[in-house]
Structure 1
Amino acid sequence: MSVDKRVVLLQVGAKIAYWRTIKGLTQAQLASVTKLSQTTISKLECGSYNDNISLSHVIDIANALKIDFTVLLEFNSMERDMWVVSEPE
């Protein structure tokens, strides 16, 4: 089974955006607390940050949002089903 990394990055980014909104923070405020740029936060939320997300960034963002970092990396079965890339037979 292959995983579509782009889908996973989009899902992580959506979780960051969701929790940031729930906590009442702007991208600029989250950037300030995490010492990341607003552009980086924006790219992370869009799933387009250099085709990867540093675990260190995820932990910093989770700490700033006052949530367990695993919340940003947990996926239910429906979310995981979206990752699967069909292998040619």
Structure 2
Amino acid sequence: MAMRVFTVGGREYAALTVLGSEDFDAMEVVEMTDAGRGGLLLEFRMDEESAKLTHLGAEVDIPLLRASLEVFREDFLEPRRAAGLPLPPW
């Protein structure tokens, strides 16, 4: 599992990339606090046929969604494209 920490609006978040599930790969976004990882805010899942936002917490605002999508693109999609791994047919 890989983790990337990023900041939006003065708050710290972590994008956790989980690879190699039997059915899909996933990226989860959680808030980081002094107490550690917070609850799940966003979850992206991707398989060979689709990429979906499967969880969107009620407290997620547009700046966090945009930053998370950018992390998803940079850390999740682009490395797979560069490695020639299967991607959904977009």
TM-score by shorter chain over 0.5: no
Q: Which structure has the larger Rg over C-alpha atoms?
A: 1
Give the helix-richer structure, 1 or 2.
1
Return the structure number with greater strand share.
2
